[in-house]
Structure 1
Amino acid sequence: MGYIRDRWRDPSRAGKGHRWQVKYRVDGRELDGGSYDVKAVAKRKLTELEASVQRGQWVDPTDRTTVVEYARRWAERRPHRPTTARRVGIQIRNLERDPIGSKRLAAVKPSDVQAWVSTMVAAGRAASTVRLQVRFLGSVYQSAVLDRLVATSPVVRIALPKADAARIVPLTVDQVRELANAIGPRYRAMVLTQAGLGLRIGELLALRVQDVDFLRRTARVEHQIAPVSRERVEPKTPRSRRTIPLPTMVGDALAAHIATYPPPADGPIFSTKAGAPYDHAFYGGRVFARTVKELAGAEGSTFPASTTTHDLRHHYASVLLAAGESVVAVSERLGHDNATLVLTTYGHLLPDSEERTRKAIDAAWNDAPTETPAAQPLPGRS
């Protein structure tokens, strides 16, 4: 419970009249709620403070935590995967360099966040980077609200730069075949497998003999190889654990690879000569990237120089969509949580449905009765 103290007898108030000081208790601490010239105002302030404590909306006015300090604490408590933890670390370091990071957490206003966004845009940061940084700050403040360090989040109604992602132009079958033939015999099956199963690079590197059922013609995604550590870990999301139909061309490539390069005892299909899993940077950043550079740099070549291993996943999705596979099915094959991402990423690749629309309407009308029933009068009318 709180109380109001009359500071009239305070020597420092001599000749200045009454002054009413508000005191209230939270978590065993007595805090100062301010001093007021009118007793009724002080009572109203005390009532507001006690009500906010009871509702769980009270914010500690003495807390001096800065934005970047709380961001570090927030990140330490989150169960981030290694790749996510690295990205969060970069975002925290960006906050350390920006003035907003040193501001007191409770002192940041929406106008401060908007000014920060404008500064990042003026400095030439990519629109996608700015949007990710603001989304990160919003997550930090959502946690701060729950921890009662701030009453509300200042990351609201912020005007963000528009991030226009370039439309994906998928590799053709001929381009994937050209890439597989050029990359070298030890890595050829890796290209064909990723293109024929739509795997993420970590899922490709983690594929084991026991994950492939040649008899039932399926492949099972159970793990992924973590970057840097090369440890076998859980897939990216629960939906990433999935069973994928095994095309003949992938089955043949895997069978030939296993016969030529026998897997180690624990079963990884793709491994170094020493039997260790490949590192993302080695395969994707050196072997794959070097081959792309050679193909794109050849005289008269039209091979896209920006190609990465992820473009093989795009190729897989584009082939399924062009064949009329449903968006939901493609989403499941790719291991997405929902079909929305498939629509936003590959919607422009969906085959033109104008003729199908015409046929659907014509078929419905052709199958309908040719005689039109007589019109019936509406109720209440003659």
Structure 2
Amino acid sequence: MTKLRRTPGTTNTRRRKPSARFPKGGWLGTYVDPEGKEKGKTFARKIDAQNWAEGEAVKIRSGAYISPTDAATTMRVWSEHWLKGYEVNRPGSVKQAKTHVKRINAVFGDVPLKDIRPTAIKNWLAALKKEGLADSTIHALYRRLAHLLSDAVEDGLLLRTPISRKIAPPTGKQRPYVATEEQVWALYDAMPEEMKNVILLGAFAGLRVAEISALRVQDVDSLRGFITPAIQYPGVPLKTEESKNPIPIPRDLAFELNKNPARWGSETFVTLENGRPAAPYTIEARFRTARATVEGLPENFRIHDLRHFFASFLIASGEDIKKVQSAMRHASAKTTLDVYGHLMEDAKESTRSAVAGALANRADSLRTKRA
């Protein structure tokens, strides 16, 4: 005989026999969940059983119901499941996500998702600040927690996220250190012969270290004067579509870059001492050694900071923001302005000088008329 499926959202209340918990007998309130299964809970009073069952039924009918099993899901269980789906992203992004999740689970790992409150998040952010973490790092951790919780809502594990603008920490944007031209050439001189191209590609083409490591001879058109990055280490797609944009370079730079492949017969422009391709972590180790010899460079100065020199070099040369955006391969001019807007001071001074000049010319004109 076929068992009839009960209608989700229906309720019932019935008397239960006396038990250790309810010596006088209790009342069992029940409801039928979205899967057609009966769920129940016992109360001392009938009215409490009815109210509870009807409350769960209302959630089902309104689409706001979360099963007891899902509601008990902890941050640790959810984040481990979430990371499996996140592994389709770039290795560097996955590594960073795992680092963030580890810190999040240190505080919220054993807490059910439904029990994470805004106040607890605010206290966590305050503790991170007290720990001495940079504002940018704290904001990155906050955004990761927000991502985890919003995806939990999408998956039906949470009714709403406790994240809001009211508790968001500052982004912590910092002005990047811009090396001087003398410091850039000092770095160039300090790098091993087979890795001098690292400085040229970072400071005069704005490439990232993973792009520098993977840049091949076939990616540079020496005759037309273009670098067109195609992949990044270890042979994976570039960070963004904009990263594929060609970068114009002078022939003199192309000539310097080609010295290393000509010497070793290598496919890449940056190599080890034996002419084999160099991984980013090896390049960074050589760079740190060279950096220590250059006076005035901060200890945390990175290969990526050579991009800042490239941008400032273009701005100082009078390039407009759209051309700088294109050379830096940013997705939008806003990104370029957010990072390098403070370097536009010379442009502001030029505007100020132009207005002052116009006023001076007007004054001269008036004096001439009076004469």
* TM-score, L = length of structure 1: 0.80
Computed over aligned residues only, the root mean square deviation of the Cα atoms, in angstroms, reads: 2.9
Secondary structure at 1:294 match in 2: coil
CA contact (8 A) 1:4 1:20 kept: no
Question: Structure 2: which amino acid aligns with 1:208?
Answer: R
Aligned to 2:368: none
CA distance in 2, matches of 1:224, 1:9: 68
| Secondary structure of 2:162 counterpart | coil
Provide the rounded CA distance (Å) in 2 between the counterparts of 1:140 and 1:342.
29
User: Could you say which residue in structure 1 is the equivalent of 2:224?
Assistant: 216
What amino acid does structure 1 have at the position aligned with 2:250?
P
SS in 2 for 1:7: strand
Moved more, 163-172 or 149-158: 163-172
The structure-2 alpha-carbon separation of the partners of 1:328 and 1:355, relative to structure 1 and needing over 3 Å to count, comes to closer
Provide the aligned length of Structure 1 versus Structure 2.
Answer: 345
Match status 1:327 vs 2:321: yes
What residue identity is the alignment partner of 2:150? Q
The alpha carbon displacement at 1:221 in A equals: 0.8
- Using the TM superposition, give the Cα deviation of residue 295 of structure 1 relative to its aligned residue in structure 2, in angstroms: 2.4
Query: In structure 2, what is the Cα distance between the partners aligned to 1:310 and 1:15?
Result: 73
Task: Give 1:199 deviation, angstroms.
Answer: 0.3
Aligned-partner Cα distance in 1 for 2:321–2:293: 35
Matched, 1:125 2:133: yes
Shift of 1:139: 0.4
Match of 2:310 among 293, 305, 316: 316
Map residues 63-78 of structure 1 onto 2, 5 A cutoff. 63=70, 64-78=72-86
Displacement, 1:34? 7.5
Matched position secondary structure for 1:233: coil
Unaligned runs of 5+ in 1: 226-230, 297-301, 367-382
Instruction: For residue 311 of structure 1, report the CA deviation from its aligned partner.
Output: 1.8
In the TM superposition, what is the alpha-carbon distance from 1:102 to its structure 2 partner? 1.0
Q: List per-residue Cα deviations over 1:96-128 (Å, max 9, x = no partner).
A: 322x22111111111221222222223333332
Q: CA separation in 2, counterparts of 1:232 and 1:356? A: 46
Q: How does 1:257-336 map to 2 (within 5 A)?
A: 257-263=260-266, 267-284=267-284, 286-296=285-295, 302-336=296-330
Amino acid at match of 1:131: H
SS of the residue aligned with 1:150?
A: coil
Residues 164 and 15 of structure 1: CA distance in aligned 2, closer, same or farther (over 3 Å): closer
CA offset at residue 348 of structure 1?
0.7
In 2, Cα distance between the equivalents of 1:241 and 1:76?
Answer: 28
When residues 47 and 89 of structure 1 are mapped into structure 2, their CA distance, relative to the original with a 3 A threshold, is closer
**Partner of 1:172 in structure 2?**
180
Instruction: Work out whether residues 106 and 150 of structure 1, in 8 Å CA contact, stay in contact via their aligned partners in 2.
Output: yes
1:360 CA drift (Å): 7.8
Cα distance in 2 for residues equivalent to 1:7 and 1:14: 16
In proportion to residue count, which structure has more helix?
Answer: 2
Q: Report if the CA contact (8 A) 1:20-1:38 is conserved.
A: no
Q: CA deviation at 1:68?
A: 1.6
User: Which whole-Å CA distance do the structure 1 matches of 2:41 and 2:268 have between them?
Assistant: 65
- The superposition leaves residues 320-368 of structure 1 with CA deviations (integer Å, 9 ceiling, x where unpaired) of 11222222322222222222221121111012325436748998xx9xx
